[in-house]
Amino acid sequence: MTDAAALLSDLVAFPSVCRTPNGAIVEWVHDILARHGVEAHVLPGPEGDRANLFATIGPRDVPGIVLSGHLDVVPAGEGWSGDPFALRAIGDRLVGRGAVDMKGFVACLLALVPEMVRAPLARPIHLALSYDEEVGCVGVRHMIARLPELCATPEACIVGEPSEMRPVLRHKGKVAGRLTVRGRAGHSSRPDLADNAVHLAADIVGLVRGLHEGFSRQGPFHPLFEPAASTLQVGIIAGGTGVNVVPDTCRIEWEARAVPGTDPMTIHDALQAGIETLVAPLRAAGRTVAVESEVLSLYPALDLPDDAPLRGLAEAWSGREALGAVSYGTEAGLFQAAGIPSIICGPGRIAEAHRPDESIGRADLEECCAMLRRIIGHHSRK
């Protein structure tokens, strides 16, 4: 195994599933950096049992580059041919939960730390490792908020999500929410004396479909995306206890993906306005109905201009031509929103993520390490 592959084996062994404590993996990374003389800041989140980690190699007082990854993984689920948290080789591929999304990139970062430390860096390289990316880019928000006290404003950020080492310029933004529809229970023989929460929820699902169809017809459109417009859909609906009981509660979980230039929260607000239009006359008529709303995740789109200097640099470092857009989302939009030009570029294929027997190729790790060496050279004194 290469150093990166050995480090990946150690990383995969931590079952750092999103929404669970991550102290063990953060401490392990902190200890590795400390052994190479790198000071790392452990930045606890408000949850109290999870933390980000931020480290700088090179001078802190000049702009540098952020290399960003997340330490959490999605739950393993069923269908694995072996232990998902024990990295194993199948041919030239390394299999384990998080191998490609995105502990492979983190392993490459850690493998190159000795070379970063030895290099005469004129501009710093920052390592930014976050928690709970998989549930809406939760942790990185707290880390970005603290960047002004940790370093000079970075001049660029690379988020190492799997992109087959092609720099990616754009992705859609996202907002997801939960609606709890309240009614009044009753016997199904007298529905006139009750308020059916499932029926009201069905009307709300109709609102969701109508908004989605409006985007499909009217845009705004972005030709690099498939589909080219923003989208809105219901993923979960659940309510009721029996066919002879008028249900008093129904839960809806929905998601919107917004093209660059559209704030995802404007879609949320449009849905809320539609719900109020539905509910207000029912309340005015004395019906016992209410809809509670909660935002589950939110992040902005990434939209790096075609002529941005970072595009040319990333193409030179990766040796690959940039890709205009991808359908998945990342933390890059949040770095961009903080004024840091950002791009996606990392090893492996996104199609391998979030599935049983998730894997990354040994060659993918080597290619990523080669890119990181070019970044080290670019940031070193000539």
18 and 97 in contact (C-beta within 8 Å)?
A: no
Name the residue with tokens 């999870």. Answer: 50
Per the annotation, the verdict on 303 as an active-site residue is: no
Q: How far apart are CA 65 and CA 353, in angstroms?
A: 26
133 is catalytic: yes
Helix then strand count (H, E) for the chain reads 9, 17
Both tokens of residue 159?
């988020």
Rounded Cα distance, 79 and 132, in Å: 23
Residue for token pair 């849905």: 271
* CA proximity to 198, closest of 250, 244, 274, 234: 250
Take residue 303 and report the two structure tokens written for it.
């939209």
Tokens encoding 342 = 């950002």
On whether the CB atoms of residues 11 and 98 are closer than 8 A, the answer is: yes
Distance CA 41, CA 119 (A): 21
* 66 vs 259: CA distance, rounded Å: 25
Q: In the sheet where 359-361 sits, what is the strand order?
A: 88-90, 93-95, 359-361
> Cis (ω within 30 of 0) for the bond into 227?
yes
Catalytic residue among 10, 49, 61, 72: 72
129 forms bridges with which residues in the sheet?
53, 69
∠ CA(340), CA(351), CA(97), 5° rounding?
85
Alpha carbon 276 to chain centroid, angstroms: 30
Q: CA 269 to CA 8: how far, in whole Å?
A: 42
Q: Which of 101, 132, 133, 364 is labelled catalytic?
A: 133
Contact predicate 342/305, CB 8 Å? no
- Active-site residues, by number, are 72, 133
